[in-house]
Structure 1
């Protein structure tokens, strides 16, 4: 551990864990007196796998060094024996296999007999998965599929509780992961005398850097009420230090170092709402209470169920993936980001806590720059949509939603699936160019005229769609003057 850069204090902690473990033995159901272990930790100790990783890393370094020096299989065997003597981890060569890659089979057999191990062949199974096969053929996956079938066969005839619109009440890995992380957060808040909590306190400060200003040097994390703390004179002050009671209501007495930002005012409103019905009693010590269950006791199962109900049933959380073979991949990725609302318009940046000079639309300055405004309701975007709809002879652009636009559900003219894909591609290209025009204005100061924008959309759409529609030929003049026939043919 010293060679790996672990500090002296940390090494002493680990050494104490290794030397202080004690066990007792049950004799006829009665435990004997405890005795100290000669070395190592108790069976099942959570520290054991971490120590094994450190030891295995030492073996990995030794092996790489030996290979760099041109060691052969017998040299590696001697290296493993040295590792066995140093670590106490014995290698069972009789249960080991030797594989040859790019060498003669006779040479592999001779070397395996000298090492007293078996000869392995490809493909082989490791942790239940086949190794050494290209896995491109269906037959290569048969063992894996059979294992799944055998496991799932145990469910046949077993009643499963149905929930969540027909689900099997199994839950998602996402919710289980969040719930387990929440369990550690809850334990950190409630098990204040635990050793691991004290370690976290010593490294990250009295609050562990979770919900208030971290005490680490140069830390920029300021917790839940970040913008309030930034504007406060004493950034180490607690909320209770700024509260006063006028006889009927709680009031705030903030000491501002500067005028609160708009985001700080939003946080103040949320904080005031949370404390509206709170009654403070300084004679009662603070404590944490879990209010998401009737028992007021934290439960990973209950929390994961709450997360699943909140997110899995929402169509916005797992949006459908839209694909169109008539446009390049970069446009499909752009549409995916647009569905997930990961386009950096001012409103979305503001939600991520980024302080902006202005949230107005940089094109028209008529409204906040949201996704809907940028791509649908900005005067520039509406002019582009109107020109494109007239070009295709569809009529006036209506107030469709962004999801309808991306799905291509804004026109009933297309009479075939291929025609529908063409119209969807046109709308995606329009969205793409609206964003391009916006970025040119913001980052380069370039202003596009509407006729130029329409011309670029016509040229680029003909290039992209015409190149990718292998079974359909497109004529430029027809595309320019009467493209609607491609929606019905």
Structure 2
């Protein structure tokens, strides 16, 4: 289906992606809330949900978007970077044309910034820095205040333009992930599992609940910590227990880093943690695939065999599967399991230099 929704020049069939098209249509409502703030329907929304959400268009995450109809909550997700598809894409395309904070003098715009209270001396220095930056902005005499859609040369939002923006974002964001995923030197089983994780298809408790297939599972809480709902990102990356696995794993390689919370970001972050040492990447990425697969095996064992989470046992599983894969898939990787457990970083470094020089 992915092939079908690509544009024709990208060797696709040119079939419209309905998911992206619906997002573009939803963005039209957000745009009209900004550009037609005095319309009757906007006033009705203002009376229901509050002035802040309607006047500002919800360009910041406000509480009112957490309740109401599904249409209203979806509007909030368009600009919410923590939820929804193509997080925050609408915010990035909208700019404010402002003319109420200054005046024209002899054809030259002068900024007049009014503050609710007197500024401290150190704050005045920051104001001077701000004025130096805004003076670089050229204003046009006669233009009214309003909102600007930066992705269109006329500054006006259109569904067609927004759909093109979303198409480009989806291709650019996912292309590098999938290219590196499918060219990795791991078994197809691990590649397919990682792909399902990328597209949100791993049957976590949250995903099963959305599909109505929760069955006899007691709740949607994480099988590891039992504190938060078991989404894919939580289970594999942000849960306190899975996070400890990643930190323990990285410490074996002398790496200490704050982990990204999403699958794609974590995947690319792991790729770059060895810097520009490209010779290491295939072996290094094998460990990422093995880690997510091992976490999934441990999660299922906890649910179906009523076992418990033990960090040392999880690390043993990761070390064992990593060593087996590296020994089978990479020429010259002839280290013993004890050598691998004792110093995995040296094993990968030595083998890479021996193969690639």
Q: Give the structure-1-normalised TM-score.
A: 0.37
Higher relative contact order (CA 8 A, sep 6+): 2
Higher Rg of the two aligned structures: 1
Q: Give the structure-2-normalised TM-score.
A: 0.49
